[in-house]
Structure 1
């Protein structure tokens, strides 16, 4: 029961917690809406399908200077195993990017690290991965950047932290 409640709270609380230091009445109203939603949905659960093959797919996206409050870029990911959503996240970048492809490329690099961590975890748990792990990105500039070694070297020397 506790875990179910916490899973329902994670996303809205992460959004509302951005305004902890300067909340307004609209933020308080949004928090009340979250409580009202939780009160009205006590029996909602997530159904996980069982598949034959262990497939791992990750979708990633980023927006350049998308935050209206501080103009920081934000990236997000969704990871599916056997077609089931198992994790999702959005994160503000702590480095100011110079372009949209740079933001997307930074997100791709970070998500590749996440996929490698999942592969190591599954290997340590002796769970075989029967298919290649897939990472999807919708930004053509970032994809072209990955395939062009000259541009790749330029961006990589400037990328020190995420």
Structure 2
């Protein structure tokens, strides 16, 4: 949130950054644990808050990618356009996360590590999951940019599996 004001920071933003640094200084024992793991599976969990920004009404995409049980990357970013529906916002978040996971898969292959299973994508929006699995392009989905439909191609090729994860988990 603080990085959104880098181009024109004010005193209140400096105070927020100082508070972040004080929190980090006070929690040196917290961190991410990496476990030795024999699982070569890539799992991504994506989410979006539809029209979450009160000034621009843009959604915020967020995702985490795990190699086995280890978190290896995450991202939180405001979407570049305003979504017409929560399904569109979730589908765009899923598309960005999938692109990142595919890049990681190529990187792992270059390192000689091959995935034992297709990438597993988890999403909490049933509409976005149906849109990913349904090869029919209809009027309710035409507002979603075509470049996001590569998810369908990855599912058809067997490189990606999309499943539902309840919001409560």
Fold match, TM over 0.5?
yes
The correspondence for 1:134, drawn from 97, 104, 120, is 120
Structure 1 residues not aligned, in runs of 5+:
1-14
Aligned length: 148
Pairwise CA RMSD: 2.5
- Report which of the two has the higher share of helix: 1
Report if aligned partners of 1:59, 1:79 keep a CA contact under 8 Å in 2.
Answer: yes
Partner of 1:51: 37
TM-score by length of 1: 0.77
- The one-character-per-residue Cα deviations of 1:116-142 (angstroms, maximum 9, x if unpaired) are 211111111111212322110010111
Could you tell me which residue of structure 2 aligns to residue 12 of structure 1? Answer: none
Change (3 A) 1:94 1:107: same
Q: Write the mapping of 1:30-109 to structure 2, written as runs, cut at 5 A.
A: 30-42=16-28, 44-109=30-95
| Runs of at least 4 residues off by over 6 Å | none
Q: Mean Cα displacement is larger for which, 107-116 or 145-154?
A: 145-154
Partner in structure 1 of residue 106 of structure 2:
120
Alpha-carbon distance between aligned partners in 2 of 1:145 and 1:71, rounded to the nearest angstrom: 23
Q: Work out the CA distance in 2 between the residues paired with 1:63 and 1:87.
A: 20
